[in-house]
A and B are shown apart, each in its own frame.
Chain A
Amino acid sequence: MLALTPLEIEALALSLRVAFWCVVVSLPFGVALAWLLARRDFIGKHLVNGLIHVPLVIPPVAVGYILLLLFGRRGPLGGFLAHAFGITIAFTWKGAVIASAVMGFPLLVRAIRLSLEAVDRRLEAAARTLGAGPLRVFLTVTLPLTLPGLLTGALLAFARSLGEFGATITFVSSIPGETRTLPLALYALSQTPDGEAGALRLVILSFLLAMAAIVASEFLARRVQDRLGA
């Protein structure tokens, strides 16, 4: 009863893999954009800010469809990647990573941006007077002090990826072992006769996974906060 079936293990492993890479891929972009939005004034700043938040407000299916148009075999990006590097995104787990990265991006950027804005810039000025150039200041003062926001943002993106459904199914479909993550497997089971028991098990599994992620992040956040001396 407690042992997971091979199918459940497959979906769980895939979900974790997608969520992990989603965070890894979006974090550098998230930090860069959050920094731009928090620290720089440039033309089109409002537009960029608005674009980032689009996935929060339009239907996920629409996002999935746009990604399909962009990354499909004949799409501008998909065609380029296939020709230049032989990489296929559509209908692969990599596509699932992109779909959930786009959906979680607003949450990630927002958390990091708030944290960056809370960094005491007088500390950065102090570091400069001690001989540190802008890059060293960023790496040794700004980034460590942004760590709570980075953690929060990463957790939100991770969780968002675990729950991602609409954009994923539209963009990369629901291929067992390739793109069928937990929510997609759950949906598939719920559409199958006699699938109720299996679906319920996946619901419980999703719940436990989410709880584990939250507890782990709370623990980490507390340790970070402690280290920062806040």
Chain B
Amino acid sequence: MLEVRARRSFGAFSLDVDFAAEAGRLIALFGRSGAGKTLLVNMLAGLVRPSAGRIAVGGHVLFDSAAGIDLPPERRRLGYVFQEGRLFPHFSVRGNLAYGMRRRDAAARREFDHIVALLGIEALLERRPRDLSGGEKQRVAIGRALLAAPRLILMDEPLAALDAARKAEILPYIERLRDELAIPTVYVSHAMEEIVRLADTVVLISNGRVSAVGPLEEVMSRLDLRPLTGRYEAGAVLATTVESHDDADGLSALRFPGGRLLVPRVELPPGARLRVRIRARDVSIALAPPKNVSILNIFKGTILETGEDSGGAQVDLLLDIGAPLWARVTARSFRELALTPGAPVYALIKAVAIDRHSLGRAGQPRFRDDSDGSAI
């Protein structure tokens, strides 16, 4: 359990947060640049002191202004993976990894070997940080934080400084940490695709305040949070399980409460759980079941809510197709189709619009098969 209550002002900016989240899984702090995410993480780590509040991880109180408790960073036992890696330039990779290790016995050596293998950095041990690529540096930084045997891992946009190829290189490792080591993680990001892929719980931060806390699917389907989750990126997250594969056509069928969703072939066995993010702009609306169209995914549903767009040219619709789904249509279509809440519609989703950036494996066997829009 991660409990955070913290306040602090810096000139015109003020941070004032109060939330609790189950720390048994990956918690994402999501928000735009400048929302106060890094500041909050630094407060957790003890690098910045809140002017008032209380911070506890798994029952251990790290900070409590009322009780006069303020553990220094070295006694908080939180592993911190920084955006820029921050490897020690004067140590080898091995020296960096060993820096935070508390013990040097046989068990510690096994732990070292295990994590080195998990991160695939065996070949780098004797190198200097300057001889590593950006992705390798981040893997070493993750290993260094893990080997300090932390209660919680903090990752502050660990992929932000990397190009797309390096990001794709690291993401599977972070997934493996989440799934194999089961160390609670707080993951800071402003990139939706990372959040969808990794997070179980989302803490939405905006302007120094917590706007929402909850399971990923729930937070992402809330229309009122759309300005915060991002306009272009807006979309719903569906919790699905892999049903079958059609190798001839290169498609996979995913089962979710609204039916079967066909997507380009995913490399997961049937039964595997998979989260799919469907952007609002990839969903079209029809009043009657369309015929002779290329779109494979057609779901019958009803409009729950309509959201005005400030520009007036587009309208976002929240649909219930057995699960919450967003659609974005032009204001003209909205008018001409006379779309109103309660109206029955057909939602059309292009299979090819769902690429691998929209897919994420759920970390814990915690899956909401009853996504009935109760979050709204």
Contacts and interface: CB of A to CB of B under 8 A. Distances in A.
Interface of A: 120, 122-123, 125-133, 140-141, 144-145, 227-230
Nearest to A140: B99
Nearest to B80: A129
A229 B130 CA distance: 6
A227 to B, nearest CB: 6
- B interface SS class: loop
A146 to B, nearest CB: 11
Contacts of A123: 86, 88-89
Interface residues of B, number: 27
Contacts of A229: 89-90, 128-130
24 contacts: A122-B82, A122-B86, A123-B86, A123-B89, A125-B47, A125-B73, A125-B86, A126-B80, A126-B88, A127-B99, A128-B72, A128-B73, A129-B78, A129-B79, A129-B80, A129-B145, A130-B99, A130-B144, A131-B75, A131-B100, A227-B90, A228-B90, A229-B129, A230-B130
Interface in B58-111: 72-80, 82, 84, 86, 88-90, 99-100, 102
A145 B90 contact: yes
- A interface SS class: helix
A128 B78 CA distance: 10
Contact of B74 (A132, A144, A228, A230): A132
B274 to A, nearest CB: 34
A120 B89 CA distance: 11
B189 to A, nearest CB: 19
Given A126-B88, A229-B90, 15 more contacts: A120-B86, A123-B86, A123-B89, A126-B86, A127-B99, A128-B74, A129-B47, A129-B148, A130-B99, A130-B144, A130-B148, A131-B102, A132-B99, A230-B89, A230-B130
B161 to A, nearest CB: 13
Given A129-B80, A133-B74, A141 B45 contact: no
B89 A128 contact: no
Interface string B133-149: 00000000000110010
Closest 3 CB pairs of A and B: A130-B100, A128-B73, A229-B89
B84 A122 contact: yes
B79 A127 contact: no
A144 B90 contact: yes
Contacts of A126: 80, 82, 86, 88
A230 B78 CA distance: 29
A60 B77 CA distance: 54
A127 B86 CA distance: 9
A229 B80 CA distance: 23
Nearest to B127: A229
B191 to A, nearest CB: 22
